[in-house]
Each structure stands twice: as C-alpha cells, then as structure tokens.
A and B are shown apart, each in its own frame.
Chain A
C-alpha cells in the first residue's frame, strides 16, 4: 500500500514537473505575427520600380524580444513571385524591425533571416506600439516591362521564430 502511494506521488511529481517545464519553455519562446494585410500593387506602371510597404506587428517574448523571419512565396520552390498570363513576375521581399519603413533587409526564400528585435509589448500590438515591423515588397521596373499583360497574383508566407 505504502509502495503504491509512493509510486502515485512519484508519477504526479513527474507530470507536474513536465507541465511546469513545458509551460516555462512555451512562455519563453512565444512569438506572434499579426496585422498583416494583403497587398495590391494595382496596375503596374513603367515609371520605375513598384514598391508597397505595410506595417505589421511582430511580437516576441524572449528576453531581448528577438526573432527571425523565414519567408517563402507561392512560386516554384518557394520563390517570391506572382503568376499570371502564363508568366511570372519576381518580387523582392524586405523586412525591417521598425514600422513605417520603405526599405529593409532583403529576404531570401526559405532562408532564416538575421536577428530582428521587436518593440511590441502585446501579442497583437493592442497596447504599446500599434506595429513594430515593416514588410516591403518591390517589383523591379525591368520585370514589369517584360511581363505580358494580364492579372498576376501570389502569396508570401512569413514564419516568425523566437531568438
């Protein structure tokens, strides 16, 4: 009887320890990206590169609020490109860990970025800064000029990981 009680206590201790440990890890590593908006370039002109930038909320609960971005597009092998009219238009994707930016660090498809840091104090930036980073997309003028007429669409996926 005493042996059975001892076993139950041991199991409970192990379970509780695991729970506490996993909770601590989860709390430490929590990140979140939000505030994303679709980007419509509209009708692409020929007067230079086309640029669109959006401020987003990137939250990280690590000590330094650090994070990395891994992005991939809807093109072949995750390429950043839009498809349409039997052709593709390549897109340059940049990230800045400051809001309201029109330039940043060039991202490569499927590659983890350099370290970024967030000012967010709330997961969805409901308090504190309303956004903490910028997603910037650029279409080169020569890509616009060589693209056949038509509608183009694509997707950029962003994976935030704690750092």
Chain B
C-alpha cells in the first residue's frame, strides 16, 4: 500500500491575477509668447501613475512519488513587485476546490493542501493563507516588475500536503488543482 501511494503523482498548477487602481490628474495653464526678438512660452505637463503590482516567476508544482509518512512540501521563490510608496501589497489565494478550497482532485476524491506565504525569499515556511482571505501588510523588496534587476525574487510560496492527507490518496492516480494568487497594492 505504501509503495502504491508513493507512486501517486500529484500536480499543482498556479494561476496569476494582479490588480491595479487609478488616480486623477490636474489641469494647469500654458503661457503664450509675446512678439519680440525672442518669444517664450511654456507648457505645463502632468500625469499620474496608478498603484500597480505584479507577480511573476511562478512555476508549476509537481509533487511526485510522495512518501505518505512524510509531509510533502514544495517551496519556490517568486517575484512580487509593488510601485506604491511603501512597496506594500496583500495577497489573496484561492484554490480550485469547492468554495475555492485548497484541494487537489483525482480518483473521484480530493485531497487538501496548505498554502503558506513569506515576504522574503528562500523560506520553507511562512504565514498560512486562508482561501479567499487577503493576507495584508506585506512589503516587497523588488525594484523591477520582473525582478530582472535588483533582487531576483522577493517572496516565497510554500505548498504542503500533510502526511495524514497523503495517506488518503489513491495510488497511481493523478491529483490536480489550480492555485490562484491575487496581489493587490497597499
């Protein structure tokens, strides 16, 4: 049985959604030149940059041939960028299970997994996320949208399946699901 469970293949895919706000602009008055040996005019310019965030660097997760006696875990560094003054953001995770639950489906059943988030890289544990509930007060160190300059990543995404839940999975069965991460500027 243990051998059969170890051969179970699990795949977890991740989707991305980012949100951004808008800001207003302001009107001024241009000055016209007068006739003369030279003539000077001026134009006022204004623009606004809305709050923006971006999540990138995500990779699909495959937890294959897991030993059910040992918790399965996958951690990856991702890039979350925010252009607000504090570089702040919140993250809301939703799963593809019933009611957006963090579950994988396969073999006519489901298996739950947990999602953790850390605002720093290289982590194997973080704050446990609750489906559809934003985790607020996070701050990014990213200086570029895709982390292609400055820090190469700014957060850690950790997925875990407990030993107890692994033991409920059918052997030789693929379990799949999608985790969607919504980042919102703060």
Binding site for B on A (CB under 8 A): 26, 29-44, 46, 50, 54, 56, 59, 82, 85-86, 89, 91, 123, 135, 137, 139, 144-162
Q: Specify which chain B residues have a CB less than 8 angstroms from the CB of A41 in the assembled complex.
A: 25, 45-48
Identify the stretch in B35-43, B67-75, B90-98 within 8 Å (CB) of chain A at 4 or more residues. Answer: B35-43
Binding site for A on B (CB under 8 A): 22-52, 83-85, 144-145, 185
State whether A159 touches B39 (Cβ < 8 A).
yes
25 A-B pairs (CB sep. < 8 Å): A31-B36, A31-B38, A35-B32, A38-B45, A39-B46, A43-B22, A43-B23, A43-B47, A43-B49, A54-B43, A56-B41, A59-B35, A82-B47, A89-B49, A146-B144, A147-B83, A150-B49, A150-B85, A153-B45, A154-B46, A156-B45, A158-B33, A159-B39, A161-B37, A162-B38
A95 to B29, CA, bound (A): 20
Q: Specify which chain A residues have a CB less than 8 angstroms from the CB of B83 in the assembled complex.
A: 147-149
State whether B44 touches A149 (Cβ < 8 A).
no
State whether B49 touches A44 (Cβ < 8 A).
yes
Q: How distant is A124 from chain B, measured CB to nearest CB, in Å?
A: 8
Q: How distant is A66 from chain B, measured CB to nearest CB, in Å?
A: 14
Inter-chain CB contacts under 8 Å: number: 159
- Contact partner, A85, options B33, B35, B43, B85, Cβ 8 Å: B85
A36 to B44, CA, bound (A): 10
Q: Specify which chain B residues have a CB less than 8 angstroms from the CB of A155 in the assembled complex.
A: 42-45
- Contact partner, A30, options B28, B35, B49, Cβ 8 Å: B35
Top 4 nearest A-B pairs by Cβ distance? A41-B47, A33-B33, A36-B30, A153-B46
- Contact partner, B35, options A31, A144, A149, A158, Cβ 8 Å: A31
